[in-house]
Amino acid sequence: MRLADHTTIRLGGPARDFVAAGTEQDLIQAVGAIDARGEPLLILGGGSNLVVADEGFDGTVVQVATRGVRHGPEPGTVCVAAGEDWDGVVAGTIAAGLAGLECLSGIPGLAGATPIQNVGAYGQEVCETITQVRAYDRDTRRVRTLDRAACGFGYRTSRFKRDEARRLVVLSVTFQLSAQALSAPVRYAELAAALGVEIGDRVPAGQARAAVIALRQRKGMVIDPADPDTRSVGSFFVNPVLDAAALRAVETAARVRCGAGTTVPRFDAGDGLVKVPAAWLIERAGFAKGYSPGDGARISSKHTLALVSSGSATTAGLLALAREIRDGVIDAFGVSLTPEPVLIGVTL
């Protein structure tokens, strides 16, 4: 079983064994049996945030294929099985008259991956609406329920990714959404402009969803087999979070490199920190949309943060491009970019 057939970037060699778990009990039993044998295990969701080595994975891949969406008991409460398609979940909540996930429309992958990555876009993050996550603990061999505080959410991370990536297997996620037809307040300037509203305004949730999908499509961030720019893992690097000293250093470098009047874009990250768009740094470091070293891996022609693969690309080539970009940004601005996808059998 080639893992390239199960990832959105279409890269990755074979797995030694492959199991599809259609129920929660199947998932728990499969993971437990593999652990009892002491074999390497890879939990696979939608493959939208996964980069696998060309050599593949010398162990068993368990694909999460569980299904189920349950509403209640409280108004706006929605419990979702880990294997549900994420965009289908978002569409379903909006159809049910609920708001709180609309800005996360069009993101590929499964619901179970959203708390791991603390998925966010256009001013929303799933941690704002998640109330609990049920997970199988591979060490104790029991199912645990973690409330929002116990999930350890941070910017594009959580305890499921940072501290206990191996130990906890997400089974289901519960959200508390707003039982109204209006979106959460619009926080993102690009989205506000697309909607023709001011920051802080609310719009019908379905209208916000449509605008987000249109924005993502223009950036090649909605999976489309006819669009080669969507053969990616979405954003390859996270936006760096800088303190005041690091920001001053970037501003100084930007003025030298780009001109005295250059303004470095930034967004408040709390506690005196700011987020600087990684795409802005990459472009000013000399890497334009469509850039390719000629081995089949390239930067998307629509969005500088997406690295895409052609039919001739390899994982080794993709990682070489990622290293070239990372090193170029370090040389230009002194900022080290962190990869967003999970890397299996490879390092950056």
Listed in sequence order, the DSSP H helices in 234-338 are 244-258, 278-284, 315-333
Catalytic site residue from 235, 298, 300, 326: 235
CA-closest candidate to residue 322, choices 334, 310, 338: 338
340 annotated active-site: yes
Query: CA-CA distances (angstroms) from residue 157 to 160, 248, 263, 300?
Result: 8, 26, 28, 24
Render the burial of 260-273: b for 16+ CB within 10 Å, e for the rest.
eeeebebeebeeeb
Tell me the pairing of strands 41-44 and 57-64.
parallel
CA-closest candidate to residue 301, choices 293, 310, 291, 290: 290
235 annotated active-site: yes
Strands (E) across the chain are located at 15-21, 41-44, 50-52, 57-64, 69-71, 77-81, 120-121, 124-125, 130-137, 142-147, 168-176, 241-242, 267-270, 273-275, 297-299, 307-309, 342-344
Catalytic site residue from 84, 102, 125, 340: 340
- In the structure encoding, which two tokens stand for residue 85, read together? 């398609």
User: What values do phi and psi take at 249, rounded to 5?
Assistant: -65, -40
End-to-end CA distance of the chain: 25
Cross-strand pairs, 121? 124
Cross-strand pairs, 178? 99
Task: Answer whether 171's CB lies under 8 Å from 187's CB.
Answer: no
Catalytic site residue from 156, 209, 216, 284: 156
- In the structure encoding, which two tokens stand for residue 225, read together? 């087999």
Q: Active-site positions?
A: 156, 235, 340
